[in-house]
Chain A
């Protein structure tokens, strides 16, 4: 078994197992931690909680208030690397093939040149985010090891992806193995750190959406 066989085989299997186990654990904790029912009557015209909650998930995709100060950078930069990652992950033909091998679904891919450009922009965006985190007094106070580890495991697949596409490491088998392994590392880290926000975002926005909508306090 060479490195590529290991990466595509047992490594991905283990990573997927840890991912599913960990994410399920984290979400179960939040879902099964009881929350007292709200005994106050809802404001007239309030939507049912789950509906208001679902609505909030989408509403928060756009800033509620014009970003001021450094929030303009944080907001725009956040969109840039999220959209960039989405374009790369969901638009690149080999990635669609991976998704197909896991879930059986696929769709039309983007011309590779878009992916290469998106990759460069995304890497620059992530680097900018790191610089911000390292230099802003607010972020320096808030940041934990999690923030940096999460950044690294998110950045690594971009690096190994470029190495693969640019043939910077030979042979192709090794470069492909490294790329797949960098993704496996991301899957393994996922449930332990900040990447969980991909799931928690639905819970936190929904709770606040339901809570504020109950009060009629929606914007």
Chain B
């Protein structure tokens, strides 16, 4: 899935200006404040898994602020008006492409240590849009976005394929998996990573929803909650993906849209979608762990205890950036008899290294593998048998890296584990 990557060296002057213009158009009050706030203290480097993996100073998160900072300064300072402030150049775009895409998962760990609380993730997300505008960014990432727009999902899960898959899974597991119900309270969405690679987690979700007696459905109009438009910086595709889900929810009259085990899918739908669409969403958005935790609280879900030792990896977009850190732990409460937190954990946990689309970038594989050493170390220190998480992208990243290292430690999904132990 690599294709021919466009190189910054190939950009025309007009394209360079176009990228610079796009950067400038994205500088709002927050980004302006953040770029002016940086003290260049360098503490963010220690918090970043990519810096740890490579030891290369260029992977310091604060360095990622430079391109948009230049655009901001040039537009707002008298020196800039006189043309005396540096502008964004072709060389900048060439140098920073890898820093904005390959070596940032927008995990927000840097913001934790920053004394000025600079939200570098949001700056990177905006900066990606400028690169994407002129066709820059890893080719496989762009392709995933194209696929999402043209075929419905990054991995080629078309509405027809969706229908096929659901039918097959329902049959195989003797489970009722509703698709395209006229009306339903809850619209469940998928991440095609699950559909294509971890179909058991789809089965698991269906099982749990049914056990709780929920009134839910999938919809072939809007099913893909991953958003490679957002990840690749292509705002038009990001918007398309959100519109599909919104249309599907409005069509079924759903009050709740549930995001499956995926991190950025939750982050985008819950914390960005309304802003991208320009209007509040007429439904609430919950991650599957939040939804199930609510059901458990209401007494609608009960589980047989799980005896093995477990440790939990916090997906960044759900915990640190998403605010749903406690839901997974509530689900594990009274369920996992031997649960061990890794160090650090919760909102301070280390990123798996594959978020933000990095897992889809073939050329970032080496760096991702180096990053995974941090996670392996964390897990081994807990002595737990099984590592679980509730993000399919984290799962894919960890599986792929584990295979690279021949790390045979058991790995699983929280949803699948819960589904296996639900009392129906």
- In the complex they form, whether A and B have CB atoms below 8 Å apart is answered with yes
Q: Does B125 contact A (CB under 8 A)?
A: no
Q: Would you call B322 and A215 a contact (CB within 8 A)?
A: yes
Please give, as numbers and ranges, the residues of chain B lying within 8 Å of A136 by CB-CB distance: 42
* Alpha-carbon distance between A5 and B305 when the two chains are bound, in angstroms: 82
Pair count A-B, CB < 8 A: 148
Count residues of B near A (Cβ-Cβ below 8 Å): 54
Q: Does A116 contact B (CB under 8 A)?
A: no
Question: In the complex, what's the smallest C-beta–C-beta distance from B2 to chain A, in angstroms?
Answer: 30
Contact A219:B36 (CB < 8 A) given known A30-B29, A69-B46, A142-B60: no
Q: Would you call B117 and A33 a contact (CB within 8 A)?
A: no
Contact A141:B28 (CB < 8 A) given known A69-B46, A78-B41, A208-B117: no
> Which of A39, A60, A144 contacts B278, CB < 8 Å?
A39
Please give, as numbers and ranges, the residues of chain A lying within 8 Å of B275 by CB-CB distance: 36, 38-40
Please give, as numbers and ranges, the residues of chain A lying within 8 Å of B37 by CB-CB distance: 197, 200-201, 203-204
Cβ proximity bits B338-366 to A, threshold 8 Å, 1 near / 0 not: 00000010011000000000000000000
Contact A39:B280 (CB < 8 A) given known A140-B57, A208-B119, A215-B271: yes
Q: Would you call A211 and B40 a contact (CB within 8 A)?
A: no
Q: Does A94 contact B (CB under 8 A)?
A: no
Count residues of A near B (Cβ-Cβ below 8 Å): 54
> Which of A33, A40, A41, A208 contacts B27, CB < 8 Å?
A33
Please give, as numbers and ranges, the residues of chain B lying within 8 Å of A56 by CB-CB distance: 117
Q: Would you call A40 and B271 a contact (CB within 8 A)?
A: yes
Cβ proximity bits A172-216 to B, threshold 8 Å, 1 near / 0 not: 000000000000000000000010110011011101110110011
* Alpha-carbon distance between A64 and B118 when the two chains are bound, in angstroms: 14
Find the B residue at minimum CB distance from A64.
B112
Q: Would you call B323 and A217 a contact (CB within 8 A)?
A: yes
Please give, as numbers and ranges, the residues of chain B lying within 8 Å of A207 by CB-CB distance: 29-30, 33-34, 117, 119
Q: Would you call B323 and A209 a contact (CB within 8 A)?
A: no
Besides A33-B76, A38-B274, A142-B42, 11 more A-B contacts (Cβ < 8 Å) are A33-B32, A67-B113, A70-B42, A74-B43, A140-B57, A200-B37, A203-B33, A207-B117, A208-B119, A211-B119, A215-B321
